[in-house]
């Protein structure tokens, strides 16, 4: 009988594992994939997550591999509209740390292996849950062989298609947005250094973020069309047409078209099962918040699990209320980011540029915006 079974060894499940290991609980992280995924989705690690990582010794290894993004520059069709520094957002981490998700997950896996050798179980697909008296029985499949496990708590950190959520019979209301994007990683040939760029053009936004290893990620809004089979040349042509910046298509390191959605489970706690991360809430990645939101779920959950296992009374409804509220704020913020970057006619574009220029020039707005973009409200 284990204290906790974590279903899903993505960034959120791995961090929760590190937190439980530090607290001396018995647990396993069950991960369906036999080997790590190579696709890089998230790149932004925000100050609240870096603060939470301190407890398990993850902050330093992540800082050693990542690249701090210290400011963002906003461009209009005819030049700069303003800049936003992240310096006021956190005394200790006055930046957003850029690191591709696969590298972040590798750091998390190494740390978990150091804290709790053998706790990470790859190639284990969780199929069913059954709550019996004071524990949950889990049926899984390990490399084709059936596996039965028992734990006091089961945590669903198994992503937006969560089987744990489905086993609990919870709905996942939400929808797909009309917006589609194309992104790619390239060598950084711009003079922007550690500055992120947001180009608001009438054809749709172009965003670019520095990556470690002299790289840069480019994301373009492609209207309502998903450019599923597109080439790096098509992406770089759109970037050049909208921003005038040349990106070397032949040196593309990653290319991916994606669509965006929002979903939120009505509950995160169901008896002895708790949902966290994308299994509980999905926010549009425009603004880079989903993974960070999940990490903060894990940071809030770990002491409650420990308290409950030690026989203390735990205020589960408060946990659920606060975390779902954070997800709602992140969703709203991502929607504002997306709305600001949609294609616009000439008049709407002029109006949008004037508004953004005014906001960025206002001395009172800068600290508030810096706080919002670094998730200090969580």
Ligand X SMILES: Cc1cc2nc3c(=O)[nH]c(=O)nc-3n(C[C@H](O)[C@H](O)[C@H](O)COP(=O)(O)OP(=O)(O)OC[C@H]3O[C@@H](n4cnc5c(N)ncnc54)[C@H](O)[C@@H]3O)c2cc1C
Interface map 177-216 toward ligand X (x if CB under 6 A):
----------------------------------------
Q: Which residue from 126, 196, 206, 301 is in contact with ligand X, where contact means CB under 6 A?
A: 126
Q: Which residue from 3, 4, 6, 13 is in contact with ligand X, where contact means CB under 6 A?
A: 13
Q: Name which of 305 and 353 has its Cβ closer to ligand X.
A: 305
Q: Name which of 43 and 116 has its Cβ closer to ligand X.
A: 43
Using the contact rule CB under 6 A, the part of the chain among 77-85, 128-136, 264-272, 277-285 near ligand X is: 277-285
By CB under 6 A, residue 8 contacts ligand X: yes
By CB under 6 A, residue 62 contacts ligand X: no
Q: Which residue from 20, 25, 30, 56 is in contact with ligand X, where contact means CB under 6 A?
A: 30
Identify residues 75-114 at the interface with ligand X (CB under 6 A).
101
Q: Which residue from 5, 10, 218, 275 is in contact with ligand X, where contact means CB under 6 A?
A: 10
By CB under 6 A, residue 3 contacts ligand X: no
Q: Name which of 157 and 305 has its Cβ closer to ligand X.
A: 157
Q: Name which of 249 and 255 has its Cβ closer to ligand X.
A: 255
Q: How many CA atoms lie less than 13 Å away from 93 in the CB half-sphere?
A: 26
Using the contact rule CB under 6 A, the part of the chain among 31-39, 50-58, 66-74, 191-199 near ligand X is: 31-39
By CB under 6 A, residue 222 contacts ligand X: no
Using the contact rule CB under 6 A, the part of the chain among 75-83, 119-127, 198-206, 306-314 near ligand X is: 119-127
By CB under 6 A, residue 119 contacts ligand X: no
Going by their DSSP bridges, the two strands 254-264 and 215-221 should be labelled as unpaired
Using the contact rule CB under 6 A, the part of the chain among 24-32, 67-75, 107-115, 239-247 near ligand X is: 24-32
Q: Which residue from 5, 6, 12, 300 is in contact with ligand X, where contact means CB under 6 A?
A: 12
Six-digit token string for 34: 């036999």
By CB under 6 A, residue 376 contacts ligand X: no
CB of 324 to ligand X, least distance (A): 15
Tracing tokens 């298609």 back to the chain, one arrives at 161
Contact at 8 Å (CB) between 74 and 81? Answer: yes
Q: Name which of 122 and 365 has its Cβ closer to ligand X.
A: 122
Going by their DSSP bridges, the two strands 195-199 and 135-142 should be labelled as unpaired
Q: Name which of 10 and 17 has its Cβ closer to ligand X.
A: 10
Q: Name which of 76 and 287 has its Cβ closer to ligand X.
A: 287
Identify residues 284-303 at the interface with ligand X (CB under 6 A).
285, 288-292, 294
Give the end-to-end CA distance of the chain in Å, rounded to a whole number: 34
Buried b (16+ CB within 10 A) or exposed e, 315-345: ebeebbeebbebbebbbebbbebbebbbbbe
Residue 110: name the closest of 47, 21, 39 by CA. Answer: 21
CB of 4 to ligand X, least distance (A): 14
By CB under 6 A, residue 320 contacts ligand X: no
Q: Which residue from 68, 258, 303, 314 is in contact with ligand X, where contact means CB under 6 A?
A: 258
**Residues within the interface to ligand X (CB under 6 A):** 7-13, 30-33, 41-44, 101, 124-126, 157-159, 163, 258, 277-278, 285, 288-292, 294
């Amino acid at each position: 009988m284990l204290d906790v079974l974590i279903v899903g060894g993505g960034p959120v499940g791995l961090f929760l594992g590190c937190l439980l290991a530090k607290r001396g609980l018995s647990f396993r992280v069950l991960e369906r994939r036999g080997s790590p995924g190579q696709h890089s989705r998230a790149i932004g690690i925000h100050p609240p997550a870096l603060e939470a990582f301190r407890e398990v010794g993850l902050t330093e290894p992540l800082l050693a591999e990542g690249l701090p993004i210290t400011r963002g520059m906003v461009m209009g069709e005819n030049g700069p509209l303003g800049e936003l520094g992240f310096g006021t957002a956190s005394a200790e981490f006055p930046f957003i740390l850029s690191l591709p998700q696969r590298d972040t997950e590798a750091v998390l896996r190494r740390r978990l292996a150091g804290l709790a050798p053998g706790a990470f179980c790859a190639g284990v697909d969780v199929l069913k849950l059954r709550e019996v008296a004071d524990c949950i029985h889990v049926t899984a499949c390990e490399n084709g062989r059936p596996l039965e496990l028992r734990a006091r708590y089961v945590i669903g950190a198994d992503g937006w298609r969560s089987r744990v959520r489905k086993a609990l019979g919870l709905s996942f209301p939400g929808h797909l947005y009309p917006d589609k994007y194309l992104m790619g990683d390239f060598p950084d040939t711009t003079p922007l250094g550690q500055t992120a760029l947001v180009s608001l053009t009438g054809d749709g936004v172009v965003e670019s973020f520095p990556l470690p290893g002299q790289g840069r990620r480019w994301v373009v809004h492609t209207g309502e069309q998903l450019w599923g089979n597109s080439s790096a040349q098509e992406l770089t042509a759109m970037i050049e047409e909208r921003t005038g910046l040349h990106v070397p298509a032949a040196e593309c390191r990653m290319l991916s078209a994606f669509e965006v959605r929002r979903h939120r489970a009505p509950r995160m706690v169901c008896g002895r099962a708790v949902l966290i991360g994308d299994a509980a809430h999905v926010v549009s990645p425009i603004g880079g918040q989903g993974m960070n939101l999940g990490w903060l779920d894990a940071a809030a959950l770990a002491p409650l699990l420990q308290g409950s296992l030690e026989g203390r009374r735990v205020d589960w409804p408060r946990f659920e209320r606060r975390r779902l509220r954070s997800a709602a704020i992140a969703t709203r913020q991502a929607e504002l980011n997306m709305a600001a970057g949609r294609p616009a006619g000439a008049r709407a574009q002029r109006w949008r540029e004037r508004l953004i220029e005014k906001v960025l020039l206002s001395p009172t707005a800068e600290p508030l915006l810096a706080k919002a973009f670094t998730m200090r409200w969580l």
